[in-house]
Structure 1
Amino acid sequence: MAVSAPSLTAKLVSEFVGTFLLVLTVGCNVLGSTSTWGGVSIAFVLMVSIYAMGAISGANFNPAVSVTLGISKSMGGPGLDWKTVGQYSAVQTLAGISAAVCYCLLYGRSFNLTPSEGFGWLNAGLCETLYTFVLTFVVLNVAAARKNAIERNEYYGMAIGLVIIAGAYGAGAVSGGCFNPAVALAVDVSSAARGFGWCVPYVLFELAGAAAASALFKLVRPEDFGGERSGQAELLSEFLGTFVLVLTVGLNVLAKSPAGALSIAAALTAMIYAVGDVSGAHFNPAVTLAILASGRSAQLTPVKASMYVAAQICGGIVAAAMYTFIYVGQTFPLGPVAGSTWSQVVVAEAIFTFLLSFVVLCVAVSSRTKSSQMFGLLIGSCVTVGGFAIGGISGGSLNPAVSVGIASANLLNGGLFYTALIYSALELTGGAIAAGVFRLTHDVDLDSAEKEKLVA
């Protein structure tokens, strides 16, 4: 039985409700001083609203998302026509201002939109651009890409919501973490009596991030625009994923985030879901080594693996330079955390990189234990595990690209690069051990008949 398409009224009401709930949750968390779990609260209201109304309006709830879909459509890809973009953006803006009035009435006060103390418009603007880019890029890949019309994935809302957790705890300490013109406008309008105007640069930076996402989406998925997939798309995916991961690491550490491991894991998970089907979403030389050594990926040749590693290292170094610039030259060292020894670092980094690499092999490579929907969350969870478990010993790098990025940035402040070589050796060892154990635990892949049964 055919299902009729939602009416325009249904779509606009959905956009209003979703944006209203999002902005109201933002305001209540800020005014209620929910410093530790505020980012999670905001991410979850976005996630549940996406699942609730995604099939009605597409669940944009953000003018930057609507604009990036409009740009994609105008370039010949999937997206929205500009009339719909305008209608959605107007409703989202109205909903945001309405929600701001509501939280002001609830708390009897408002709060200003402004960069955090010690940061200027460029620092805050870069944070808004970068994480609005990540948000809209993930939306395009997990919800708009043409593959989704066939696969009907169930992780799209979770992946989008996790971007908020990724950005809120690191970038949020610099800019406040709007990543949404409706949020920026609502906050600024509701506090106009205390000063108005920051919404203008915020919105412009956010729209710049949306435009960048559309352009890179086309490069990563040329087949959605009438082109053909190439090796360059895979390398770009590895660069972008590693860049977002290392950027989130650096911003969380420098912000002294109370939920750093969770934020970093969220960034990794979101980007895995975004481009996992493009490059495999390794974002980690130890993972690439583990997959290569496992012998279970015919597509990953030694030459291709070396190119992946180069892209990952470049992504890590560029990201480290970016967080150093945002924090006006501040960096942090790579090495044993105060009170820990190198012996402890050896054990910690090797074991928990083993865990990460082994889980990747089991849930993303093995035909017997592969998970088609949960793979990204499971891999990202390893970073949460390691970050909390050994963050107080080694910092919980678990990734040579992270280690090289951190150490390269710290050279600017007199740091020593050799620590990155030690960490990388430990992490690569963990990846190699994971491949060996995987070959023992998964010694027999499914035969053709079993695969056909599973598909059926």
Structure 2
Amino acid sequence: MNPIAVRRRLLAEFTGTALLVTAVVGSGIMATTLSPDDVGLQLLQNSIATAFALGTLILTFGPVSGAHFNPVVSAADWFLGRRTGSGLSGTDLAAYTLAQTLGAIAGSVLANLMFDLAPVTFSDRDRSAGHLWLGEVVATAGLVLLIFALARSGRAAVAPAAVGAYIGAAYWFTSSTSFANPAVTVGRAFTDTFAGIAPASVPGFVIAQFAGLLIGAGLLLALYPGAGRSADHVVVEARTRPSSEGSTP
């Protein structure tokens, strides 16, 4: 179990998720401003900024909360850790999910304000289609498999680079541009910009993401049967460091 106080972990999850969505939405707005006639270039700019931001945010907040920033990752951590007594508790899972979702909404509001838009502008970008939902299943399953495979094989230290790289790549190889995150999906409904999603499209994406969670967890258990024993090391292991000054973690 993570020994760091719950309030600190929740603050890390809220702040990290908020900054992640700020990066996603803000870079999307900047991309459409700088390259108004080239959608491909807009997506490139958006994906690069998101990948770099995600990696740095995991480095920043990972030692505090694990830097999940994603209810799917937190749910997988809870589920896989049940058999070994590791990972998040049910109460922690609920608290993480709430903090992540509120953080994602705050991130959209912050991005809107930075670019002189109304704080909340609900998106009208429809993303309701079967092929997009399939893209979310693939993106989410791959993300879960990647994160927990790294933890199980003792390579959690490379998660910032690996997760950032995966999400950046999945922008391009999935039809949905890889939201892969229920909290971020909800947050992106609060901005009518390049990265937005219509509120009516949110439920379909969230359902697909949890379907991806089940598939990813199933593949993980088939490939790494002892994955649950590493649930305390997701995404980045939180380590306590002894101090001669008697400081607390």
Shorter-normalised TM range: 0.7 to 0.9
Q: Which residue in 1 is equivalent to 2:246?
A: none
* Secondary structure at 1:5 match in 2: coil
Q: Does 1:124 align with 2:118?
A: no
Query: For 1:223 and 1:69, how far apart are their aligned partners in 2?
Result: 13
* Secondary structure at 1:60 match in 2: coil
Query: For 1:60 and 1:71, how far apart are their aligned partners in 2?
Result: 14
- 1:50 aligns with one of 58, 73, 94: 58
The code of the aligned residue for 1:170 comes to F
Q: Is the 8 A contact 2:141 2:213 kept in 1?
A: yes
- 1:201 aligns with one of 199, 204, 221: 204
Once the two structures are superposed, residues 327-346 of structure 1 have per-residue CA deviations (whole angstroms, 9 ceiling, x without a partner) of xxxxxxxxxxxxxxxxxxxx
* Secondary structure at 2:43 match in 1: coil
Shift of 1:208: 1.2
The code of the aligned residue for 1:134 comes to G
Q: Does 1:15 align with 2:16?
A: no
Identity of aligned residues (%): 25
The code of the aligned residue for 1:71 comes to F
Unaligned runs of 5+ in 2: 32-41, 230-249
* Secondary structure at 2:226 match in 1: helix
Q: Does 1:211 align with 2:227?
A: no
Query: For 2:65 and 2:205, how far apart are their aligned partners in 1?
Result: 25
Once the two structures are superposed, residues 146-193 of structure 1 have per-residue CA deviations (whole angstroms, 9 ceiling, x without a partner) of x42xxx65312111111111211222xx324311111110122445xx
Once the two structures are superposed, residues 54-103 of structure 1 have per-residue CA deviations (whole angstroms, 9 ceiling, x without a partner) of 11101100111111112212354853222111110100000000111112
- 2:97 aligns with one of 67, 89, 93: 89
Q: Which residue in 2 is equivalent to 1:374?
A: none
Aligned counterparts, 1:299-314, within 5 A: none
- 1:114 aligns with one of 107, 126, 131: 126
Aligned counterparts, 1:214-229, within 5 A: 214-224=217-227
Query: For 1:131 and 1:155, how far apart are their aligned partners in 2?
Result: 19
Query: For 1:77 and 1:141, how far apart are their aligned partners in 2?
Result: 19
Q: Does 1:100 align with 2:108?
A: yes
Unaligned runs of 5+ in 1: 227-456
The structure that is helix-richer by fraction is 1
Distance 1:161 1:175, change over 3 A: same
Query: For 1:28 and 1:92, how far apart are their aligned partners in 2?
Result: 18
Q: Does 1:175 align with 2:151?
A: no
The code of the aligned residue for 2:202 comes to C
Q: Is the 8 A contact 2:109 2:190 kept in 1?
A: no
Q: Is the 8 A contact 1:69 1:214 kept in 2?
A: no
Q: Which residue in 2 is equivalent to 1:336?
A: none
Report how many residues are paired: 210
Once the two structures are superposed, residues 192-216 of structure 1 have per-residue CA deviations (whole angstroms, 9 ceiling, x without a partner) of xx95311111111111111221121
Q: Which residue in 2 is equivalent to 1:415?
A: none
Distance 1:53 1:30, change over 3 A: same
Q: Does 1:186 align with 2:184?
A: no
The code of the aligned residue for 2:56 comes to V
* Secondary structure at 1:155 match in 2: helix
Query: For 1:165 and 1:195, how far apart are their aligned partners in 2?
Result: 22
The code of the aligned residue for 2:80 comes to S
Q: Which residue in 1 is equivalent to 2:75?
A: 67
* Secondary structure at 1:36 match in 2: helix
What RMSD over aligned residues (CA atoms) do the two structures have, in Å? Answer: 2.3
Aligned counterparts, 1:375-454, within 5 A: none
Distance 1:190 1:35, change over 3 A: closer
- 2:144 aligns with one of 136, 140, 155: 136
